[in-house]
Structure 1
Amino acid sequence: MGLTNAQDNGNKTNHMFAVELDTVQNLEFHDINANHVGIDIYTLSSLQSNATGYYHDSNGSFQNLSLISGEAMQVWVEYDGEATQINVTIAPLGIVKPKKPLLSCVYDLSSVLAEPSYIGFSSATGPGNSRHYVLGWSFGINRPAPVIDTAKLPKLPQLGSNKPRSKVLEITLPIASAALVLTLGVALFLLVRRRLRYTELREDWESEFGPHRFAYKDLFHATKGFKDKHLLGAGGFGMVYRGQLEKSGVEVAVKKVSHGSKQGMKEFIAEIVSIGRIRHRNLVQLLGYCRRKDELILVYDYMPNGSLDKYLYSEGDDDPTLDWGQRFRIIKGVASGLHFLHERWEKVVVHRDIKSSNVLLDKEMNGRLGDFGLAKLYEHGANPQTTRVVGTTGYLAPELVRSGKATPLTDVFAFGTFMLEVTCGQRPIKQDEQGNQFLLVDWVLQHWHNETLLEAMDPKLKGENNSDEVRFVLQIGLLCAHPSATARPSMQQVLQYLDGETPLPEMTRSDLSFNMLALLQKKGLHVMSCPCSSTMVSAGTISDLSGGR
C-alpha cells in the first residue's frame, strides 16, 4: 500500500496509523480475503479487519460491498481521544452513515502519533492493476467532520474510455494531491499538539475538590501560553504569571510550582482548598489549583501594585516609594490578616513565610499577605506537629530551628522582623563594609541600647513628622522578634498596641539583652552569604511538597 517497506514494517519508530481498503490478499500480512477493510498500527498486519460491507440500521443485517465494483463509497474514520476508541464505517455513497461501525477497537493513538504527524492517502498495486479515486473528504478536530454534500462531488470517470487524458488533469491532480496531504498533515499535527499541550494530571480522589480546580487550557490561554512578557516574578519555588480568564475577564496571578513527589499530595491539595475558603480584606485570595505532569499550578487574585519589597528597596529617583502613613497602614493591615489566620478562622493557620516580598498591594495600596505555599493548618487547641524547618533566613524564630514546630508565635517573630524591615527600609540580613553579616533585629536593638532608635528609620522618611509613631513601631517589632517565645505578644495584642487600645509594656535593658545572630548560629542555622537574597532556604531538609502553594 505504499506505506512501509521490509525494514520498517512493524517498527514502532514509523509511528503509522492507517485504515486499509485492501483488494489483494497478502498471506504474509494475514489478510482475511481480497476484499476487506482493516485497521493498521505500525504494521500492515491489521489489528482488526472485516470483509467490506455495512450493517443495516433497520434490522442489523450485514450487506456486502465490493471494493472493485466501480461504485462510489463513503468511509468514516473516527477517533475518541478520551475513550481511545477507533471506529471505521463504510457505506455506498448517498446512504446515511450506519449506526453500527464495521470496525471498532480501543487503542491509545497518543502513544503512536509523533509530533509532527502527517495525514493523507497512499496506495500501491503491486503486480495488479486498479484505480482508486478520492472524490471528496472532510476533517474535524474535537467535533464531527463536516458533512460532505454528495450532490457537489465529481462523477467517477468512465472506465475503458479511449479519450486522451487531459493535460490539465495531469498537472493539477498531483498538485491537488500534494496540497491535500499537506493540509491533512497540518491538521493532524495541530490536533496532536493540542492534546499534548493541555494534558493534565487527574486522580480519582480529586473529584471532591472539583469546584476549586482550574482547567490547564484556561490557565494557558489566560497567560497567553505562560509567555515571559506576562511574568510577574520568580522565587525559589516557582514562576508567577499575570493572566486574565477568558470567560469571566477576571485578572489572576498564576504560580507554577515544581514538585518531584506524590507523597502527601492529597493532604496538600486538601489544605489548598481549605485555605481557598478564607476571606479577609488583608489576605490575597487563593482561588484554586491545577495539576499537570510534574507541576502544581496555583491561582491567586491579581494585585495590580505588585509586592511591597519593590517599593522598600527602590534605588532610582523615579522609582516608587512609600511615605510613613502608607507603611503604617500596610503594617496594620498585615497584622489584621495574621490575627484572623491565628485566632478568628475555623482552624489555626500558621503562614510560615511572612516577609515583604509576600505582601502584595492592591489598587488602593492596602497590604495583603499572600503566598500560602508553606502554610500549615491545625485545630484550635491542638498541638502543632513537628515538621521540617522551612522559611526564609532572617525571619526564622530560634525555637523553630530547634524544634521544627511552627506556631502562631513563630509567625509573630517573622512579623516583628517584617515591621523592622518596613520601618527601616533594610533587608533582614545586613552586611557591613568589611563583609561581615549581621541581622537587622540586632542592628535595631543596638540603636535601642544606644538611645538612637530613630537613626534606624529609613532615610527616605526623614523630614516627615512621625518620630513618635516610628519609635513606637520599632519597639513593637523588637518585642515581636524576641528570642523567647513567651516574651512575644500574640497578634491580637499586637493589633491592640497598633490601634492604641493597649499601652506597650515597659521594655528594660535586661529584657532585650540578646544577640539574635549568635543564638541562631548556636541552634545550627547559618546566614546565607547573600544578605539581599529573598529566596527560600531551610535549616533542615525541605520536604517534597515544601515548594509552596
Structure 2
Amino acid sequence: MAPRNLRSLLLSLSFILSTFLSCPDLASPASTSFNFTSFPSPALRNLTLLGDSYLRSGVLGLTRDTDVPSSCSGSVIYDRPIEFFDQESNTTASFSTTFAFLIDSVNPASFGDGLAFFLSPGNETLGSPGGYLGLVNSSQLTKNTFVAVEFDTRVDSHFGDPSENHVGLDIDSLVSIKTADPMVQGVDLKCGKLITAWIDYKNDQKKLLVFLSYQSFKPQDPLLTVDIDLSEYLKQMRYAGFSASTEGSTELHLIQSWSFQTFGFLPARPKSRPHNVSDSSVTNKPPISVPESESKLHRRLGLGLGIAGPAFFCVVLALFGYITVKKWRDIKIEKNFKAEVFAGPREFSYKELKMATKGFHASRILGHGAFGTVYKAFFISSGTIAAVKRSKHSHEGKTEFLAELSIIARLRHKNLVQLQGWCVEKGELLLVYDFMPNGSLDNLLYQEVEQGSLLKWPHRLNIAVGLASVLTYLHQECEQQVIHRDIKTSNIMLDGNFNARLGDFGLARLMDHDESPVSTLTAGTMGYLAPEYLQYGKATEKTDVFSYGVVILEVACGRRPIERDPADQKMVNLVDWVWGLHSQGNIIEAADKRLSGTFKEEEMRNLLLLGLSCANPDSAERPSMRRVLQILISEAEPVLVPRMKPSLSFSSSLPLSLEDLVSDSDDIKWSCPRNVPNQSRLKC
C-alpha cells in the first residue's frame, strides 16, 4: 500500500474515533439517496454486474446485445445495503426510485421476456433466463425472496400474465399481486423508445404507485396503484437493483439513468436513559456552574483519550501488519506465477495492450463471453493481430485467476485457441489469444448465404473431428482433467483453414482424474446443459459430451439448440426434433436444407446418430470423447441409438443432500426450455 493511501487510512480512522467520542448515540438510521444521471466507468465502483449484464457508453445493458436469438439473464445491483426499518421507533421508511429504460429488438417479431426493478436481501440476485426475468432461480422456486416491479413483454401463462405488455407488483413470486396495461396510457414497453418509470412507496398510506411516461416529467395519474403494507418485507437490509432475461429472442434491455431515495425516518435523537430509582432516592442539587461543567468535560475527555489512545494505536499497528503481510503474499503469488509461466506465454504490459486495442475502444470489440469482453488487437511493432480478453471481474478472484491460468497456460493442442500471453496490471486481468480470422462457428453457421459463403460439408465434418480430438485431450490426456462446462458454437473458433479451435475457459474447472465430479452451482448456456447437470449441478466429462452432441446436431442441421417454430410459435428443442425424425425413420430429413444435398448421405446419417448418442438423456449411455473420435475416424463401430428417445433418469450413485431431496426437481423436464438455473456470478 502506498504511503499516501496509508496516511489517508490513518486520518480516516482518527476522524471515526473522534466522531465516536464526541457524538451522542443515534437512535435512527440515516436515509439513503443516490443518483446516476448516466453510468460512466467510475460508477462500477458502486454497482455489481452479474450474468450477462455489461456497461457500455454510459448505459447499463442487462442482456446480450445480439442480432441472433439467445437465452440469457443479467442483473445490476447497487453495492450498499439499504436500511428500511428503524427497530427502536418501529418505523418503516418510504422510498422513491426513478429510472429511464429502453426495451428494443433488432427483430420486431423477437421479443421477451422483460425486466424488473427489485429489492432483495442479497447482493447476488441472478435468476434463470426466460419467464423468470433473471429474478427467480427456477430450481429453487420456494427460496426466492424479493419485492419487485416487473415490466413484462411476454405472456407466461403459468405465472398468470394478462398480456405481453404489462406492469406488475411481485412479492417472492412472479405471480403478480396486481398488474396494469401501459397501453391504457399509450405506453408500449417494446416500442424501442426511452421510457421513464417512477416507483413510489408511501408507508404512511400503505400504498405503492407506479408511473410511466415517454417524457422526463412525472405524469399526474399513476399507471399502477397497489394498497399494500410492505413493512413486513422490509425489516431486513435490502439491496436495490435491476434484472432482465430473454429466451430465444433478441430483446435488449438498457438502463440509462437511475435515482433512489428513502425518507420518513424520525430525526436522530439521543437514546433515552431511564432511571431505576424511586422518587425518594433523588436529592435536589443546586444549578451546576459553568466552571464545574468544564472541569467534568476535561476529566471525561482525558479518561476517553487515556482509554482510546492505546486502543487506537493497537488497531493501527494490527492493520499495518495485516496490510504488509497481505501485500507480501500477493507479491509472492504473482512472482511464483510469473516464474511458472515464464517459459510459456509472455507477459504483456498494460500500455502495450491498451495501445494495440486503441484504448479498448468499442470499435475493436469482437464479442462478449463469460470471462469478459474480447477485443481485436493490432501490434504495430510486430505487425501481428491477436484477440485480447478483458475480464469483467477485475477486482476479484486474482489469486484463483493466477493459479488456474498457470495450468491452462500449459495446454497444447492444435484444436485449442492458443494463449499467447497475459497481463495483470492496474487492477486488470487480461489474456491474449491467437486471432481467428473466420470468427466463431455460430456466426458462420447461421449467417445468411447472401452475407457470405455457406459452411461446406467437408468443413463441417472436419470441425466435428477437431472438436472431438481436443475434448479427448482435455478429458483423458492432460495431467489434470479439464471439464470445459460451456461447449457451444459461439465458443468454437475457426482459423483460416476452417479448423475448429475451442476457446473461452471462463467456466472451465480442473480436477484430478480420480476425483469425484465437480460439485458447483449450475453454469453454462441453456440448450447445451445435460439433464443430470441441471438436476444435481455436478459437472463431469459426460456433461461435456452432451454439449458436444448438441453442437454436432447444430453443425449437421443448421438449427439452433432451441428455436421458435414459425408455425405455432412454440419453442422446439433440437435434440427432441432430431430424435422425433429418427423414430419415424426419416433422420436424414434433419440435414441442413441450405446444403442442397451436397453431402454423402451415409456421412450425414452417421453424424446425426453420433450427435443423438452423445445427447442421450442417460449419461451412462453416452460414449466417451475418445470413443467419439474413434467413430469419426472409422476406428470404432457407431453407437446404437434407440428409435424412441429414452426417458429422463438419474443415477442413484450421485450423492443427494437433504436440500436435493426436497427441491423442486419434478419441475425439470427435458422438453421444457424454461427451467434452467443460472450461475450467480461467472468467474474465471
Residues 521, 311 of structure 1: alpha-carbon distance in 2 compared, 3 angstrom cutoff: farther
Where 1:349 maps in the other structure, the secondary structure is strand
Residues 506, 524 of structure 1: alpha-carbon distance in 2 compared, 3 angstrom cutoff: closer
Q: 1:329 aligns with which of 443, 462, 468?
A: 462
Q: 1:209 aligns with which of 337, 349, 366?
A: 337
Larger Rg: 1
Residue in 1 aligned with 2:40?
Answer: none
CA contact (8 A) 1:307 1:359 kept: yes
Residue in 2 aligned with 1:411?
Answer: 544
Residues 293, 525 of structure 1: alpha-carbon distance in 2 compared, 3 angstrom cutoff: farther
CA contact (8 A) 2:375 2:388 kept: yes
| TM-score (ref. length: structure 1) | 0.57
CA contact (8 A) 1:257 1:547 kept: no
The amino acid that maps onto 1:407 is T
Q: Deviation at 1:476?
A: 0.4
CA contact (8 A) 2:529 2:546 kept: yes
Bigger mean CA deviation after superposition, 313-322 or 293-302: 293-302
Give the distance between the partners of 1:499 and 1:521, measured in 2 at CA. 40
Give the distance between the partners of 1:520 and 1:415, measured in 2 at CA. 25
CA contact (8 A) 2:415 2:501 kept: yes
| TM-score (ref. length: structure 2) | 0.46
Where 1:507 maps in the other structure, the secondary structure is coil
The amino acid that maps onto 1:239 is T
Q: Deviation at 1:463?
A: 2.6
**Which residues of 2 match residues 426-465 of structure 1 at below 5 A?**
426-433=559-566, 434-465=568-599
| 1:252 equivalenced with 2:390 (yes/no) | no
Give the distance between the partners of 1:292 and 1:222, measured in 2 at CA. 16
Q: Deviation at 1:246?
A: 4.5
Q: Deviations over 1:197-228 (max 9, x none)?
A: xxxxx754211122354321111112122223
Q: Deviation at 1:289?
A: 2.8
Q: 1:364 aligns with which of 472, 497, 512?
A: 497
Residue in 2 aligned with 1:523?
Answer: 668
Q: Percent identity?
A: 43
Give the distance between the partners of 1:508 and 1:445, measured in 2 at CA. 9
**Which residues of 2 match residues 501-540 of structure 1 at below 5 A?**
501-509=635-643, 512-514=645-647, 522-523=667-668, 539-540=677-678
Give the distance between the partners of 2:622 and 2:676, measured in 1 at CA. 23
| 1:468 equivalenced with 2:606 (yes/no) | no
Residues 236, 376 of structure 1: alpha-carbon distance in 2 compared, 3 angstrom cutoff: closer
Residue in 1 aligned with 2:514?
Answer: 381
Give the distance between the partners of 1:481 and 1:540, measured in 2 at CA. 20
Q: Deviations over 1:351-373 (max 9, x none)?
A: 11111111111111111111111
Where 2:539 maps in the other structure, the secondary structure is coil
**Which residues of 2 match residues 43-192 of structure 1 at below 5 A?**
none
| 1:395 equivalenced with 2:540 (yes/no) | no
Give the distance between the partners of 1:216 and 1:279, measured in 2 at CA. 25
Give the distance between the partners of 2:600 and 2:466, measured in 1 at CA. 19
Residues 542, 503 of structure 1: alpha-carbon distance in 2 compared, 3 angstrom cutoff: same
Residues 411, 209 of structure 1: alpha-carbon distance in 2 compared, 3 angstrom cutoff: same
Give the distance between the partners of 2:439 and 2:615, measured in 1 at CA. 26
Where 1:273 maps in the other structure, the secondary structure is helix
Q: Which runs of 5+ in 1 are unaligned?
A: 1-11, 13-201, 530-536
Where 1:332 maps in the other structure, the secondary structure is helix
Residue in 1 aligned with 2:274?
Answer: none
Residues 540, 241 of structure 1: alpha-carbon distance in 2 compared, 3 angstrom cutoff: closer
Q: Deviation at 1:538?
A: 6.7
| 1:484 equivalenced with 2:484 (yes/no) | no
Residue in 1 aligned with 2:446?
Answer: 313
Q: Which runs of 5+ in 2 are unaligned?
A: 1-7, 9-329, 650-663
Where 1:317 maps in the other structure, the secondary structure is helix
Q: Deviation at 1:442?
A: 0.5
Where 1:393 maps in the other structure, the secondary structure is coil
Residues 294, 515 of structure 1: alpha-carbon distance in 2 compared, 3 angstrom cutoff: farther
Give the distance between the partners of 1:364 and 1:239, measured in 2 at CA. 25
CA contact (8 A) 2:535 2:665 kept: no
Q: Deviation at 1:292?
A: 5.0
CA contact (8 A) 1:398 1:520 kept: no
Residue in 2 aligned with 1:114?
Answer: none
The RMSD of aligned alpha carbons is 2.6
Q: 2:487 aligns with which of 335, 350, 354?
A: 354
Residues 329, 316 of structure 1: alpha-carbon distance in 2 compared, 3 angstrom cutoff: closer
Give the distance between the partners of 1:430 and 1:238, measured in 2 at CA. 26
CA contact (8 A) 1:258 1:294 kept: no
Residues 541, 235 of structure 1: alpha-carbon distance in 2 compared, 3 angstrom cutoff: closer
Q: Deviation at 1:522?
A: 3.4
The amino acid that maps onto 1:461 is L
Residues 483, 247 of structure 1: alpha-carbon distance in 2 compared, 3 angstrom cutoff: same
Residues 259, 438 of structure 1: alpha-carbon distance in 2 compared, 3 angstrom cutoff: same
Q: Deviation at 1:466?
A: 1.4
Give the distance between the partners of 1:295 and 1:418, measured in 2 at CA. 33
CA contact (8 A) 2:423 2:431 kept: yes
Give the distance between the partners of 1:459 and 1:251, measured in 2 at CA. 36
Residue in 2 aligned with 1:542?
Answer: 680
The amino acid that maps onto 1:253 is A
Give the distance between the partners of 1:293 and 1:527, measured in 2 at CA. 45
CA contact (8 A) 2:388 2:430 kept: yes
Residue in 2 aligned with 1:133?
Answer: none
CA contact (8 A) 1:284 1:368 kept: yes
Residues 372, 237 of structure 1: alpha-carbon distance in 2 compared, 3 angstrom cutoff: closer
Bigger mean CA deviation after superposition, 407-416 or 357-366: 357-366
The amino acid that maps onto 1:302 is F
Residue in 2 aligned with 1:341?
Answer: 474
The amino acid that maps onto 1:408 is E
The amino acid that maps onto 1:282 is N
More strand by share: 2
Higher relative contact order (CA closer than 8 Å, sequence separation 6+) = 2
Residues 318, 522 of structure 1: alpha-carbon distance in 2 compared, 3 angstrom cutoff: same
The amino acid that maps onto 1:476 is L
Give the distance between the partners of 1:323 and 1:541, measured in 2 at CA. 36
The amino acid that maps onto 1:522 is D
Where 2:366 maps in the other structure, the secondary structure is strand
Q: Deviation at 1:312?
A: 0.8
CA contact (8 A) 1:390 1:538 kept: no
| 1:222 equivalenced with 2:359 (yes/no) | no
Q: Deviation at 1:268?
A: 2.9
**Which residues of 2 match residues 268-279 of structure 1 at below 5 A?**
268-279=401-412
Give the distance between the partners of 2:337 and 2:540, measured in 1 at CA. 27
Q: Deviations over 1:120-150 (max 9, x none)?
A: xxxxxxxxxxxxxxxxxxxxxxxxxxxxxxx
Q: Deviation at 1:230?
A: 2.0
Q: Deviation at 1:326?
A: 0.7
Q: Deviation at 1:314?
A: 1.0
Where 2:431 maps in the other structure, the secondary structure is strand
Q: 1:496 aligns with which of 627, 630, 637?
A: 630
Q: Deviation at 1:236?
A: 5.6
Where 1:224 maps in the other structure, the secondary structure is coil
